[in-house]
Amino acid sequence: MSLLEAKALGVGYKVPGSGILSAARLLPIVRDVSFSLDPGRTLGVVGESGCGKSTLGRALLRLIEPTAGQVLWQGQDMAMIPDLRRRRSEMQIIFQDPVAALDPRMTLARIVSR
Q: Across 1-114, where does the E strand assignment appear?
A: 4-15, 25-37, 68-73, 76-77
Question: At 11, which CATH number?
Answer: 3.40.50.300
Range of the domain at 12: 4-113
| Cα–Cα separations (whole angstroms), residue 83 to 18, 75, 88, 93 | 40, 15, 9, 19
69: left (phi over 0), alpha (psi -120 to 50) or beta: left
Contacts of 9 (CB under 8 A, 6+ apart): 30, 32, 33, 34, 56, 59, 60, 66, 68, 69, 70, 71
* Domain total in the chain: 1
Per-residue pLDDT of the chain (114 residues; tens, 9 = 90+): 899 999 999 999 989 888 777 888 889 999 999 999 999 898 888 888 889 998 999 999 899 999 999 999 999 999 998 888 887 777 777 766 666 666 777 777 777 776
CB atoms within 10 A of CB 77: 12
